[in-house]
Structure 1
């Protein structure tokens, strides 16, 4: 690098391309030096004589325009470390040093970090949404350096600017692999999240030759601070702790404001008593400040203790509500724009409120009326079960009282604007009225029309919110109808407890995602110990609840023993027959449209009816087929000796289901293909559709086989002649399953979750000097630690990765 011809060439290239500031890396020099060519080069590297001499090194290049900036506008710092090939300790030390450099920069100053991090950060997901944009090229999951980079960005509120700008692949990749000749994006620009609006573009500039195997990465930053900070960001809501304590704080704040006005008036007019008025104002100001600090500390301390108690008592719903509030985006609520049919990202969207509302109405009408045709006589092979006559009795007062009691509070009202709290406050008089209505339902053999209809509210999913496909529907139902649905649903659930197989854990009391994850990981762990090749098929159904064929469902309910009074007389089916729905957008509703297919979402009956149908589909697919993974269960009976009390039996695990999510393990490729064919054929018979695009395969290698598959590839397993995608990792029921059978992917996933919660609480908790250490520890134990262990029963990470959690926790 120090050769004159190289420094002159690089300076000339930067000058020709009008580059004001450039970051140089791997300059391979020792000590510090400065070169003056067409640009000013500041270079630094390891000390002369050290073991690292001739390696690493960083530098900066400044144009004359950049050098003319006034003092304090431009600060530079460099780190001569190298990330590639370093161990966990070296990488952790590098990011600690880099973090210290970032913390020394005043909060009001922008930070730009650029360099070759040798990192592949993977695709954007829920945990990395605060760091990555939508346009990230490369592999699906991050590597070790990528995980460290993401955690560093979360900790210091930085974003990867490259991922927020869409470019073709040849303008994204900065380094070409010498063997595969594939371009990878390893060089990144990191900026503060609040300064992202000042970065106009980041891309690779292929015409600059810098004597490097990396292409030159450029970040165009031309917006001034004034332009970036004067945008309309909407009204910022008051903090939650202030909203709950404002009744005590407002009098003190008002007194402080009045004391200030009096002091300023006396001081301006030159009247006597200025000093006493000043002291009075200072006392009022200090009293208000102390009250605010005490109120904030008391609120966060109470919140932390509540979260700790929720975690200790397995009240995960309370923890999830808190995390959901943290992830709620700030800014102006409402849906202001959407793309119309046929448009793509980048096209001008619809902005008129009426057009946006009509677009959502057409979209959800199509989603809720997907065609579904079942084969005639699809239930003929199912034997007639004994009729459960106890299910058709008229609801009793005790059942109505219990159903009202079990209604969740804090939920949105239906079309009648009546919430659950109002029914509960009605007492026995309200229960009597409801009981009269339900008796009329049994007499008339059908539910009232208002019990069927729903109000659809769009809720955003991941991805571009201008696309209707990235919105899902939430159905708001009449609360009185929910009471009746709970009564009938309770009876169906009691029946399902005996009739639905153990492999189904969805919508069942005492079962959850943890059971399915634990079983899947146990199978993978045992296969890894014995070095057996294991295939996993993860099936995704296209709009499973919305494509249930109602005619086939009615016949199936009679076959499985549901009394005719509830089926043929339409007490159950009348919840969905002749159903209508309208879409509510920004408080305004569309015209109602008919919903002619599927079961009702948001209703307990709809979920339970789907379980019955999906269980029938899977059992029919497995009929006459003896396959799956054979598991030997060995346990000791209580109150017996260890030797005499031990017993063992073998079971065959063919599938693991949670509602419409199905995972199927198999040890032979041929039998895995046979199961896929059987399931596809049976879904076609019942009118369900398997999404080939989202259905994926994962192969856990056996003895002597390659352990890792870095990039997704086509599998040898196919559905309808289309090969499925084979992946290295799969997100299954909130956990991460890896094809090597280890917990490395799960550890990275947990670190990301912990880092996300930590980052969200930076400004509100960790950086608040007014909060005591005890309060911060309550929040740490109640909000930050639970994501690291929730939903996890057991497992063993690889020894080489055992330090990843400790290093990640230290950085957090």
Structure 2
């Protein structure tokens, strides 16, 4: 995150922050700033901290530019509450010198050099706002107190500073320069170790659309009502492009399903409802302790919060155990007394009511069969149960003519792979396609598997080598993949469909209930798409065949020559 001058202007100065991924949740994103001053406000357990990234004018700049900069910096500091911690970091282009007698509150015993005009301006600002130069308060080696060497005189000076409010100086452990850091600038890196404990900011998540109660799709009367509603609504479907038609069809499906099947309500466990009189006071006490700790974080409030959580958890476990023990005793008593009805009612409470599932009808079209094969209760958006009920209407005809942008895009959510650093974005997996898009991919997969048998046929001698390919699916060349599919005889119509699934694909990153702007994805096959393993298998098999077609190394089995002859029908890669 940073601020700079406009692209058409010379980029002579700018400011920014590089924040560790694990600390992003503790800071508020900068909402405003200039090309010389940018603020970041992370949260800690001792209160909010304000960090200003500053790039001051050089010594040869005009007096008007200097006056404007220090007026903006003064106004920014005035807007920060006096109770908050304040850090000013950056290139101040000022030499503050070592005259501690004249500036006792701003400079320590370990200053260096002499003060210049910019240093006079900076020290006046620091004296007015009770700020101090941290690098002058630590007894470190002289070459670690300087950060820039004059190109002509070859003298070292202290221009890059870390400034803090004087009452917070005890939080700074050290401030020094690191001359061995390798980056494209004539300034040395200046680092400051500070005693702070970051605190995560709890952001409210955006409420999504209510979910459909898919359990009612097993009721025949409601299914017939939903089919009639879809049939009537699709009569007025617009005849525009694919995006407009799909947007209208998607809204019709959702609204009709919500009106027919209703909203899915969250249902608490039976033991929770049975012990609500004992659980409610413990839950309220835990909430009050949490609010108190967020408002005034301290060791005492944290201990009170932990005690309230432990009490609530202990009471919840006791209520659950008591409920299940009483239920089991009542079922056993009913069985001993031969009370079959009471025993069945108790078993229904324990295991839940039985669900009568409707066997899907066999359809003559591939799309209908693909819809029937969709797994239920596993994907967001329009549930597959609703699509299965609505396919018996005119909905199937409209879907057969559509392939909108939404079916190509990928929603990248924070699905951790359970390996590696959680702060590394490469250790998270993306989820692609909508429910209707999965139906289309099932159709393409059936045709694609027939072609895959030509590339790596069954019933041949098999040698297994386990290879861990880094980012295998993400690094597949799409142009190379489409060229290979065309050369091995894949039907042009289905090839256009696979190409369309990957062309102009965009990804949206979802985190804490909010979504980023769409990002173009121009390489690789889709993660968690059922086509991805087969496409990668064909691509990798032909790649190995082309690389080792003339090689005589390795283990050769009886089917080695037959395998080579079968692949010679594919022209060599150009």
- Do both proteins adopt the same fold according to a TM-score greater than 0.5, normalized to the shorter chain? no
Higher RCO structure, 1 or 2 (CA under 8 Å, sep 6+): 1
Instruction: Give the structure with higher Rg (CA).
Output: 2
TM-score by length of structure 2 reads 0.36
